[in-house]
Structure 1
Amino acid sequence: MAFALTACGRLTVMPPPEGKPVVLKPAELATTWTDADGGTLTLKPDGTFIADKVCIAYRWDEGLTGSGTGTWKHGSNEEYSFVGVSFDAAHPETGEREPASYAALRQGKVLKLWVAVGDPDNDYPNCVLTSPAS
């Protein structure tokens, strides 16, 4: 019986990284965010950004990074903020300019932007960017 249940695959997606959803103002988002591999996303107050090998999510593609410039937009619901970026140039592997949006979390004094990447049935990793809370 245990084999039959494990062969069915996961019925839920991986949880988000540690932290609580948070609503942030654009001024709180306008800073440099860093991923686990040292990639950076610098969101500027004027709505532009500079990215250097930052983790991104396109569909189920895993391990993608983005570099370049573009624009960013902030949105919020009652629980959390989200950030969408649009690169000036298309990604060389996907041909797309707009990866999935990042959602905001707070864990103590650390702010996080995160997005799930890859196939949810294969323990996909989360792309997590961090910045010290002000």
Structure 2
Amino acid sequence: MVQSAVEGEREAPRRSERVGGAGWTAAWLTGAVALAAEGVLALVLYFLAGLRDEYYFAAGVPAYVGYLFFSVVAMVLLGLAGLICSAAVVLPVVQLSRWSARRKGRTETARWCLAVCGAVAAAAALCIGVPTALLGGGWTVLPLVLLVAFLGLAPAALSSRGVTVLRGTGARFGLAAAVLGCGLALSAVVFVGGLAAYGTGLIQEYEPPRLTATQLAGTWSDDQGGTLTLRADGTAVAEELGVRGGETETAGDGHEHCDGSGSWEKGASPSGTSQLDLDLDVGDCMAGSSWQFGGTEEEPTLFHWIGDPDSLKRHILHRGAPAQ
């Protein structure tokens, strides 16, 4: 599509110098849909990359409705952000490319527009990276901002520029539709390809650690200073173990604490994965509770859901005594 725009420019470079109101409207919309499509692709890549890290998804009809609502809101926000950024950044860059080429007495080309995009990205990197580095953020942010700014700006600027070298209102708005369609198609291909890569084992998806009974034995602590000690003989002792949402006595500091002893054993969850079955004899304090394994092999965690699992709220224990 960009190639056809360039061919149109070669056929009539003089006649396409002036772009009317409808032409600039088409260029604005083209830049907006290009930025929105880039946003969708970025979200897809972020989701696929996140499958390698520890993650948990809620299930059930309410959760699926929530996911659908989030997707619709995300698309609307991406569209609005694309419209704003296209008017504030993309169109000025296209105009700057045309103006700077005329100042140099040269014909404005796609390469010239890319060079202007690089200059704008470099300026953004300096404005953001240098202060961040001076404040202790490190100099690596400078090339990162440069790369992200250029990759985000260049496709949108080239697409908007392609509109300005086309003749005919229909062709200009058609290019905007083509950019949107190609962007969404690319995102779909990447999404399906990523899921296929995980499904075939080409890319390793996150899996919880497989802890043995020997690895489970020891002290585990939460972020409130409480501990859970699992002994090798199958007994367990809880001291000031924070339990949010459980039926326990409330301590003076406002946290719900659990103290007591009981038993533990390694069992299996309904999904087939291993879990810790814990039974502490302090009334209803964690009686018959099940803890799942999380984290990594090097830094494992134990957790159980607080209330409805769809809320994704967890009580997490880390291996080792609490930090003083």
1:84 matches 2:277: yes
C-alpha displacement of 1:67: 0.9
The gaps in structure 1 that reach 5 residues or longer are 1-8, 14-18
- How many corresponding residue pairs? 113
Q: Hey, what's the Cα distance between the residues in 1 that align with 2:299 and 2:238?
A: 20
- Residue in structure 2 matched with residue 48 of structure 1 by the alignment: 235
Percentage of identical aligned residues? 27
1:75–1:108 Cα change, 3 Å:
closer
| Structure-2 separation of matches of 1:20 and 1:38 | 28
From 285, 289, 298, the counterpart of 1:100: 289
Q: Higher strand fraction: Structure 1 or Structure 2?
A: 1
1:128 aligns with 2:312: no
Greater relative contact order structure (CA < 8 Å, 6+ sep):
1
Query: What is the one-letter code of the residue matched to 2:300?
Result: L
Structure 2 unmatched runs, 5+ = 1-60, 67-205, 249-254
Seen in structure 2, the aligned counterparts of structure 1 residues 113 and 97 have a Cα distance that, compared at 3 Å, is closer
Q: CA RMSD in A?
A: 3.3
CA contact (8 A) 1:81 1:104 kept: yes
Q: Deviations over 1:38-70 (max 9, x none)?
A: 111000000001101224477799x64321111
**Structure having the larger proportion of residues in helix:** 2
Whether the 8 Å contact between 2:264 and 2:276 is mirrored in structure 1 is yes
Which whole-Å CA distance do the structure 1 matches of 2:286 and 2:292 have between them? 18
Alpha-carbon distance in structure 2 between the residues aligned to 1:54 and 1:111: 18
Three-state SS of the structure 1 residue aligned to 2:214 is: helix
Matched, 1:115 2:167: no
Is the contact between residue 60 and residue 118 of structure 1 (CA under 8 Å) also seen in structure 2? no
TM-score in terms of structure 1 length = 0.66
Measure the CA separation in 2 of the matches of 1:67 and 1:74.
21
| Contact 1:80/1:105 (8 A) holds in 2 | no
**Equivalent of residue 75 in structure 1, options 261, 264, 267:** 267
